[in-house]
Amino acid sequence: MRIFLIAFLIVIYSCNPLDSESGKRELMTGNWVFVYADNSHFDNFQRKDYAALKDTLAAVMGLKLVSFHADGRFSQTDSMYRQNGKWEITAGGELRVSDGGRAFNPLVAQFAEMKEGRLHLRQYLKLGYDSAGLIWQIKKIGPEHPQAALFDSTNNLWRKPALKEETNRQLRARVAGMLKFYSLYFRLLSTEANYFSPRKVFLPFIYYQHSIGMKSLEESPAFARHFYSIEQAAMGWDMLKTAFRASRSFPSGTDYVIEYADYLAILQRAVEGK
């Protein structure tokens, strides 16, 4: 019995993917969401210096969807049609991303641990005259995950830059595609995170507790840049405004993020004329 127990523990230990370069590479290959940056272990001086970086890091990396492809390519879902970087497991066992876009050029991180279904990565930051390891908690979104479709190219066609003026039908497809994507995105956040950042959502909306409003087109440059011209962006904005007027009933519930997801699905159907 004792021999069996020892053999069992050896097998369990040897199956830890963080124990080998090949295990780390296999673990990282796939789609991930950067959920949360943990600095609770920083001392008072480190927290003070980190405060200057916190908003920038949270804005760029927090709740970011990324893909580590099996062929060594790295991509942010936000820019899947514009830029691909590279990723590798270094000889020292670290994760390294290069040419991956803002905050991922480079990103160098150590593998800390797997805990409660999340991988913890330690990213060392220069803080004044000191350095400290920020812990990123990231979650792998496997093909069986209910929101795995967020990473499908078919659900991100609206990100493709328009090469010429689009027809009314094409504009509706672009706007409906945005609504569908962010409805899925809010559902992902409802299960994998306890916060959300409006800056991560390119729709011209203002988010309230149990309600959504519209911002003007002038206040929504992230929305406008997904169209061929400002005139076409205005047409897309008008489609959303019309959908708003036709969908006055806002879903009610206990989770306002799920309410957002449900309402965007309602707006999507209105834009599509369903």
Compute, in degrees rounded to 10, the torsion defined by CA atoms 211, 60, 221, 212.
0
Query: Higher-confidence residue: 8 or 264?
Result: 264
Tokens of 177: 């595609």
Between helix 168-192 and helix 230-246 the angle, nearest 10°, is 60
The confidence score (pLDDT) of residue 108 equals: 97
Task: For residue range 102-116, list pLDDT tens digits in order.
Answer: 899 999 999 999 999
pLDDT score of 3 more than 70: no
Architecture of domain 16-140: Beta Barrel (2.40)
Query: CB neighbours (10 Å) of residue 223?
Result: 21
> What are 108's strand-pairing partners?
96
Task: For residue range 204-231, list pLDDT tens digits in order.
Answer: 999 999 999 999 999 999 999 999 999 9
pLDDT confidence of 81, banded at 50, 70, 90? Answer: confident
pLDDT score of 13 more than 90: no
pLDDT confidence of 186, banded at 50, 70, 90? Answer: very high
pLDDT score of 53 more than 60: yes
Average pLDDT estimate for 188-192: 96
pLDDT confidence of 12, banded at 50, 70, 90? Answer: very low
Rounded Cα distance between 194 and 189, Å, is 7
What is the residue extent of each domain of the chain? 16-140, 148-272
Give me the chain's average pLDDT, please: 92
DSSP annotation of 105: T
Compute, in degrees rounded to 10, the torsion defined by CA atoms 47, 188, 202, 67.
80
The least confident of 14-23, 122-131, 164-173 is: 14-23
Query: CB neighbours (10 Å) of residue 257?
Result: 20
Task: For residue range 230-263, list pLDDT tens digits in order.
Answer: 999 999 999 999 999 999 889 998 899 999 999 9
Query: CB neighbours (10 Å) of residue 98?
Result: 14
The least confident of 22-31, 61-70, 144-153, 193-202 is: 193-202
pLDDT confidence of 82, banded at 50, 70, 90? Answer: confident
The confidence score (pLDDT) of residue 203 equals: 98
pLDDT score of 128 more than 90: no
Q: Catalogue the long-range contacts made by 114-117 (C-beta closer than 8 Å, 24 or more residues apart).
A: 114/16, 114/17, 114/18
Rounded Cα distance between 219 and 39, Å, is 33
